[in-house]
Structure 1
Amino acid sequence: MISNRALLTSVFSAVFLQNEIRFMSVSAVHVKEGTEKASSIIRKSIGLKSPKNLWWAKQVTPEYYVAGRLSRRQIQYASEGGFKSVVSLFTYKDKKNCCLGVDYLPSTTEMDSYAKEAGLHFRTVLYSSKVSSAVQSVSDLEESLKNLPKPALLFSDRGYSMTFTLLMYLLKSQINTDFTVENAVAVSELLGMDFSLKCTNRVLCNVTGENIDFPKLDSLPKQWLSYWLATPVYKNWFIAGQILDSHIPLIKQAGFKSVVNLRAGTTHKGKPSQETVTLLNIKDGSRTYGDDTLGPRQSLETLRQQIIDPSKDNSYVSPNSSQNFATTNRAEFGDLIGYNEEIEKLSFRKAGFPYYHVPVVNSEPFSAELFSLYQPELMDSVNRGPVLIHCASSKRAGYIAVLAAAVQHHHDLAWALSKLSQLGMAISPSKKPDIYEMYVNVLTKKGNKTHCHSNKSGKICTECN
């Protein structure tokens, strides 16, 4: 008998407990040590309908995404961004004053109420702390998912145990004939989760009837899931969307040694250039400073034209809100105009944390020259150890981080393009052509002569020739 949640979690992997977790990474199935194999997994674009709000939701299949324990704001964003249902693996009796922003982490009862307020279906898989077996937990998940509207966001404390349970369910039920053992291994690798221990394989075998071998690969920082919102790219490279001021202690705890910010500053080339912040019950897409049809984004007149659901009560925003939509977001380093990079920089400096600002402005194309300009700072950041690169939605961060990882570890263009597809950021000559051209120019033999190894002289690099 498994008497409590912590022991159930340890059966899932035997390397993590609810509050003390060890993490490794995985390689592709049946891959020999020291080799690289591209995954066949190709993901949809991040964030469903709202990449700036939902960059932290990680796709397992097109119908199922996983995350760590959610705040009220994340539940609200899940609804506004296209999710239909939210599923919690565990029952949380108490709220947790924590770290994901201005909101604490609510109890299960509160989450149920918040989900209904946001128009989401909410279900809990395990109501009791006494669970007979991991096999039973899969049956409980299967029951919880019956007739559940999709797409669904599934979560546990840091997403680890829910991901393992979901993979067992997908392999056992065979509801998706394309979800194979190889897919399960590839997904776990993309999520940076290690299911390679013998006890884990025994559980998988008991549940699915499959003899699954998750090879072990010690390449990711062991504690990075303390900041579960991040997405692993390769070895010490990680990406994120807009982080919050309250995230800084978690980022340090997770073992990151520096942060690189790609968002625009308050000015660019002498002109105002602030980007937007995310606002509850407000559509994304309108410009910070307005345009010919709309005024400045955070003016009340403009915001009233961008409301997602006019029927929401004012309490949807906060108990004392004077309207049913947000007008500012200070937790996101916001001011009265929008996102303010100077506030973020000051917050990291106060925390004594290495911070790099290398702006990649949305209005300007990517280029090999741009990457070459920022390459010394990128390599300096990763030389400190695990680095978290962020922008607003993690897309710009992904394009830069994958290219930097390819350059650092001498991977070719095919590897980089495959990695982008795995992250849901596929590019081609017709899709994001400026980014594709940047990759070609940097990673082909011709490009490597001038762009590899921080070579800014224009001379041929002997390592690449």
Structure 2
Amino acid sequence: MMQIIKVTRLPVAVSCSLALMIWICNNDVNSDSCGANKSDSKDIPSVFPSRLVPPGLNEPTKAWWVKEVTPLLHVAGRLSERQIKYAAEAGFKSILSLFPYPDDCPGDCGGEYLPVTTEEKKMVESTGLQFVPLLEPLDEWSSVEAVEKFTSVISLMDKPALLHCDRGYTIVFVVLLYLANQTRYDPNFEPRIHTKEFYEISASMGLDFLSRIPVEVVSEITGEPAINLKDETVPRPDYDPEEWLDFWYAHPVYYNWFLAGQIYRSHLEPLKDFGYKTVINVRSGVLHNSEPNQEEVNLLNIKSKTGTYGNGLNPGRQFVERLEETRINPQLSTLYISPTSGVNYEQRNMHEFGDDVGYNETLERIAVEKSGLAYYHFPLHENLDDFYTYMAENRDKLLEVGRKGPVLIHCDSGYRSG
């Protein structure tokens, strides 16, 4: 019997906002429900793993690409150095890499470097987080042995833990079967994961483990009969593009609709290559009614949600005085930013379309259109003010966009878009 580790609930309940309302519209295109009555959404089933709070722990705008399995166990794909730092700033205590990445196999996402395992270890530990590599080069991920290895290390890891593989696919298989194994041998364990829940959860996350070997491993771990691959009642993901996980950062919502927080410049080429047709941005523009209206941009070692603009007492967020005051960790080395930085915080973030003030929607528009993707800007206030009027005004255009092919809709954290 594997070691039993107590894990708490699976997350439930998420705010119904833009992407879910688009799902409603797609399933009731002849009605006025998209803009009429707030109570209309109360009986709509969840179409993706729901959450009590947005993903990303303390920094949802920085770590929106994380997927929560339990409050202590979160999953992702292969990480960049910036994402490792974002994970540390968000409050993760450890990072596990399911696969080893040899020194001669660096990764790349649209020109953004993805470190090999030896580099990742140094990067993770330099932020103060624990790093755990799991499998050896010849180990098989879809195996009882992989679940056994995971079980042997998870109790030794600081929580909450961020667990990653290449695309956030194989790690989910291992984590869910770890939970299923604990369910089998501990009558008090929660969340309770049996075969039924395994396939419901994986399908809702857009993941397909419906092939012979994974099905056999699920049966061996749960102690329950293997499903019939021809059984049409077994939940199956249905998304376009079918290989949407090539851009694993996205959260699938409905068929060809995917949501995200603030995308990076390096994401545009992969989005185009992987079959996306349109980017919809619901963040604020540079101006609103001729007044400055920029939202914040993510900055390393700088707290989020402190306000873009100054007032009579304080300067704007990206003035040195404010940056010094809003550092997450004033004791960090300047090497945290770069070998040549004179300060231990980021002052500007062009990677996420930032300028000297904050997030600049115009810069994103120019970059997206230059990439060949269609771009639409439908700004939505962070408080979701008058959301149903917003949907009534934009429904027809949103549905038209969706008919043209896969859509990525984003805001800063995924809250408004999700």
Q: TM-score under structure 1 normalisation?
A: 0.74
Question: What is the DSSP-based 3-state SS (H/G/I as helix, E as strand, rest coil) of the residue aligned with 1:186?
Answer: helix
Q: Per-residue deviation at 1:198?
A: 3.2
Structure 1 counterpart SS, 2:322 = helix
Aligned-residue CA RMSD (Å): 2.1
Tell me if structure 2 keeps the 8 A contact 1:225–1:254: no
Match of 2:27 in 1: none
Q: Which one of the candidate residues 204, 212, 218 is aligned to 1:190? A: 204
Cα distance in 2, alignment partners of residues 113 and 138 from structure 1: 26
How far apart, CA to CA, are the structure 2 residues paired with 1:264 and 1:215? 37
Q: Which residue of 1 aligns with 2:373?
A: 353
Question: Is the CA contact (8 Å cut-off) linking 1:260 and 1:388 kept in structure 2?
Answer: yes
Q: Quick one: which amino acid aligns to residue 193 of structure 1?
A: L
| Distance 1:39-1:349 versus aligned 2 partners, 3 A rule | closer
CA drift at 1:385: 1.3
What is the CA-CA distance between 1:211 and the residue it aligns to? Answer: 2.9
Aligned partners of 1:162 and 1:239: how far apart in 2?
21
Count of residues in Structure 1 that have an aligned counterpart in Structure 2: 362
> Does 1:315 pair with 2:335?
yes
Higher helix share: 1
Residue number in structure 2 paired with 1:75: 84
Partner Cα separation in structure 2 for residue 336 and residue 239 of structure 1: 27
Equivalence for 1:50: 59
Counterpart in 1 of 2:190? Answer: 177
Gap regions ≥5 residues in structure 2: 1-43, 228-233
Q: 1:333 aligns with which of 331, 345, 353?
A: 353
1:209 aligns with 2:217: no
Instruction: Measure how far apart 1:232 and its partner are.
Output: 0.5
Quick check: 1:192–1:220 contact (8 Å CA) kept in 2? no
Residue 286 of structure 1: how far off its partner (Å)? 1.2
In structure 2, distance between residues paired with 1:275 and 1:39: 29
Q: Check whether the contact 2:336–2:344 (CA below 8 A) recurs between aligned residues.
A: yes
- For 1:242-281, what aligned pairs fall within 5 Å after superposition? 242-281=262-301
CA 345–133 in structure 1, closer or farther in 2 if over 3 Å, else same: closer
CA-to-partner distance for each residue in 1:363-404, whole Å, 9 max, x for gaps?
Answer: 671332221222232112101111110000011101xxxxxx
Deviations for 1:214-273, whole angstroms, at most 9, x for unmatched residues? 433434421211110000111121100000111011111222111100011110111111
1:59 to 51, 68, 75: 68
- Return the offset for 1:187: 2.2
Q: Assess, with a 3 A threshold, how the Cα gap between structure 1 residues 39 and 275 changes in structure 2: closer, same or farther.
A: closer
When residues 345 and 39 of structure 1 are mapped into structure 2, their CA distance, relative to the original with a 3 A threshold, is closer
- Unaligned 5+ runs, structure 1: 1-35, 399-465
Q: Alignment partner of 2:409: what SS?
A: strand
- Which aligned runs of 4 or more in structure 1 are off by greater than 6 angstroms? none
Residues 165 and 333 (structure 1), Cα distance of their counterparts in 2 relative to 1, 3 Å cut: same
The letter of the residue matching 1:280 is: L
Match of 2:134 in 1: 125
- Quick one: structure 1 residues 350 and 37, their matched pair in 2 at CA, closer, same or farther if it must change by over 3 Å? closer
Q: Give the 3 Å change call, closer, same or farther, for CA 212–318 of structure 1 in structure 2.
A: farther
1:81 & 1:129 partners in 2: Cα distance?
33
Correspondence list, 1:10-409, <5 A: 42-46=50-54, 47-94=56-103, 96-99=106-109, 103-131=112-140, 134-174=143-183, 176-181=189-194, 182-211=196-225, 213=227, 214-362=234-382, 365-398=385-418
Contact (CA 8 Å) 2:261, 2:414: kept in 1 or not?
A: yes
What is the TM-score of this pair, normalised by structure 2? 0.82
Separation in 2 of the partners of 1:207 and 1:225?
Answer: 25
How far is the alpha carbon of 1:291 from its aligned partner? 3.3
Return the alpha-carbon distance in structure 1 between the equivalents of residues 222 and 383 of structure 2: 49
Q: Report how far residue 209 of structure 1 moved.
A: 1.5
